[in-house]
A and B are shown apart, each in its own frame.
Chain A
Amino acid sequence: MKAAVITFPGSNRDGDVARALKQAGATVVHSWHGDSELPQGTDLVVLPGGFSYGDYLRTGAIAGRAHIMDATRAHAARGGYVLGICNGFQIACEAGLLPGILVRNAHLKFVCKRQNLTVERNDTPYTASYAKGQVIDVCIAHGEGNYIADAETLARLEGEGLVAFRYADADGKVTPAANPNGSLDSIAGIYSPGFNVLGLMPHPENLIDSLVGGTDGRGLFQSLVGAKRAA
Chain B
Amino acid sequence: MKARVTVTLKNGVLDPQGKAIEGALKSLGIDGVGSVRQGKVFDIELSTVDKAAAEAALKSACEKLLANTVIENYRVEIGA
Residues of A within 8 A of B (CB): 57-58, 61-62, 65, 94, 99-101, 103-108, 146, 148-150, 182
Extra inter-chain contacts (9) besides given A103-B14, A108-B17, A146-B14, CB under 8 Å: A65-B64, A65-B65, A101-B70, A101-B71, A103-B13, A105-B16, A106-B16, A107-B16, A148-B71
Which 4 A-B pairs have CB atoms at the shortest separation, nearest pair first? A108-B16, A101-B70, A104-B16, A101-B68
Q: List 30 A-B contacts (CB under 8 A).
A: A57-B65, A57-B66, A58-B68, A61-B65, A61-B68, A62-B65, A65-B64, A65-B65, A94-B68, A99-B70, A100-B70, A101-B68, A101-B70, A101-B71, A103-B14, A103-B71, A104-B16, A104-B17, A105-B16, A106-B14, A108-B16, A108-B20, A146-B14, A148-B13, A148-B14, A148-B70, A148-B71, A149-B70, A150-B70, A182-B14
CB distance from A62 to the nearest CB of B (A): 8
Contact with A along B45-80 (1 / 0, CB 8 A): 000000000000000000011101011000000000
- The docked-state distance in angstroms from the alpha carbon of A110 to that of B29 is 28
Complex: A62 Cα to B65 Cα, angstroms: 8
A154 to B71 Cα, complex, angstroms: 14
Distance from A102 Cβ to chain B, minimum over Cβ atoms (Å): 10
Tally of A-B Cβ pairs under 8 angstroms: 34
B interface, how many residues as a size bin?
Answer: 10 to 19
Q: How far is the CA of A28 from the CA of B70 in the complex (A)?
A: 34
The distance from the CB of B24 to the nearest CB of chain A, in whole angstroms, is 12
Return chain B residues, CB-CB under 8 Å to A146: 14
Closest residue on chain A to residue B19 by CB atoms = A108
Contacts of A103 in B (CB 8 A): 13-14, 71
Could you tell me the distance in whole angstroms from the C-beta of B22 to the nearest C-beta in chain A?
12
Complex: chain B residue closest to A100, CB-CB: B70
A19 to chain B, nearest CB (A): 32
Compute how far the CA of A99 lies from the CA of B13 in the bound complex, rounded to whole angstroms.
Answer: 16
Q: Return chain B residues, CB-CB under 8 Å to A150.
A: 70
Residues of B near A62 (CB, < 8 A) are: 65
Q: Which residues of A contact B68 (CB under 8 A)?
A: 58, 61, 94, 101
- What CA separation (Å) do A94 and B68 show in the bound complex? 8
A57: chain B residues within 8 A (beta carbon): 65-66
Residue in B closest to A105 when the chains form the complex, CB atoms: B16
Q: Roughly how many angstroms separate A104 CA and B38 CA in the complex, as a whole number?
A: 12
Determine the residue in chain A with the shortest Cβ distance to B10: A150
CB-defined contacts of B13 to chain A, threshold 8 Å: 103, 148
Alpha-carbon separation in the docked complex, A130 to B78 (Å): 55
Contact with A along B1-22 (1 / 0, CB 8 A): 0000000000001101100100
